[in-house]
Amino acid sequence: MLTVNHLAKSYDGEKKSLTDVSFSVHPGEVTVIIGPSGAGKTTILRSINQLIRDDDGEILFDDTDMRQLNRSQLRRARCRIGMIFQNYNLIEPLTAIENVLHGCLGTKSNLAGIFSLYSNREKETALKLLEKVGLKDFAYQQCRNLSGGQKQRVGIARALMQHPKIILCDEPIASLDPKSTITVMDILRDLAINDGISVLINLHQVDIAREYADHVIGINNGQVVFDDRTQALSDAAITGIYQKGAVPERSLVHEF
């Protein structure tokens, strides 16, 4: 459902942040991208929904190349791609339910979005989503009064408001304590298993990747150096992914 082919990106026209990155993400699976700081993980994630423009390659989302879409097509495609951020990206003075309702913005005309004209049905959906992430009782709390773990769950509910086919998560647990980490990761895994959503997560925590991922992609220096089922992520493979100057050790073409 998502296939990235030969993606390349340079921010300054000289140093390559991504060189020839290819991988696929499958429906109903948790795919985790790991790799050292500066390897290119965020660049990959933000290229998928074209928050940054890459230089070369193909990003096939449901067989459509995201790179070839015009503005309105891109807006529609982005509605099916949820995004979760390390710093939550919530509007802090607004309530949890208002933030979740903002997940609809991409599907509304600008006018409706600006004036927050949400239907009762949308409000019911937003409440149900907050219930799904265990926050029904916090629906009318201002987000600035929520804990980090609660904020991240609001972020997930907001992403779900778009009925996404895929959710992209850039270090969603980096600011969370161990208990909230488990709560958030459990929710993300449930979305893959029970709702068939593809979940693609950038992580620094290898132990969490091992526990939650179906599929692991290792990135080093803008290149894919590991692409396999999680069972294949041996200690030696992890060392390889994180070592300086890592290169792909073998063919990265897998039949999943």
Ligand X SMILES: Nc1ncnc2c1ncn2[C@@H]1O[C@H](COP(=O)(O)OP(=O)(O)OP(=O)(O)O)[C@@H](O)[C@H]1O
Q: Enumerate binding residues for Mg ion (CB under 5 A).
A: 41-42
Q: How far is the CB of 130 from ligand X (least distance, A)?
A: 29
Give the residue with the Cβ less far from ligand X, 11 or 256.
Answer: 11
Instruction: Write out the binding residues for ligand X, residues 102-121 only, by CB under 6 A.
Output: none
Give the residue with the Cβ less far from Mg ion, 85 or 118.
Answer: 85
User: Is residue 42 at the binding interface for ligand X, with CB under 6 A as the rule?
Assistant: yes
User: Is residue 49 at the binding interface for ligand X, with CB under 6 A as the rule?
Assistant: no
Contact of residue 17 among ligand X, Mg ion, none (CB under 5-8 Å per partner type): ligand X
Q: Which stretch binds ligand X (CB under 6 A): 35-43, 126-134, 226-234, 244-252?
A: 35-43
Give the residue with the Cβ less far from ligand X, 35 or 103.
Answer: 35
User: Is residue 39 at the binding interface for ligand X, with CB under 6 A as the rule?
Assistant: yes
Q: How far is the CB of 190 from Mg ion (least distance, A)?
A: 25
Q: Which stretch binds ligand X (CB under 6 A): 41-49, 68-76, 207-215, 224-232?
A: 41-49
What's the rounded Cα separation, in Å, for the pair 10 and 101? 36
3-class SS string, the chain: CEEEEEEEECCCCCCCCEEEEEEEECCCCEEEEECCCCCCHHHHHHHHCCCCCCCEEEEEECCEEHHHCCHHHHHHHHHCEEEECCCCCCCCCCEHHHHHHHHHHHHCCHHHHHCCCCCHHHHHHHHHHHHHCCCHHHCCCEHHHCCHHHHHHHHHHHHHCCCCCEEEEECCCCCCCHHHHHHHHHHHHHHHHHHCCEEEEECCCHHHHHHHCCEEEEEECCEEEEEEEHHHCCHHHHHHHHCCCCCCCCCCCCCC
Total residues at interface with ligand X (CB under 6 A): 10
Give the residue with the Cβ less far from ligand X, 160 or 203.
Answer: 203
Q: How far is the CB of 108 from Mg ion (least distance, A)?
A: 30
Q: How far is the CB of 23 from ligand X (least distance, A)?
A: 15
Give the residue with the Cβ less far from Mg ion, 104 or 203.
Answer: 203
Q: How far is the CB of 228 from ligand X (least distance, A)?
A: 19
User: What does the radius of gyration of the chain's CA atoms come to, in whole angstroms?
Assistant: 18
Q: Rounded to a whole number, what is the distance in angstroms from the first to the last CA of the chain?
A: 13
Give the residue with the Cβ less far from ligand X, 100 or 216.
Answer: 216
Interface residues with ligand X (CB under 6 A) are 11, 17, 35, 37-43
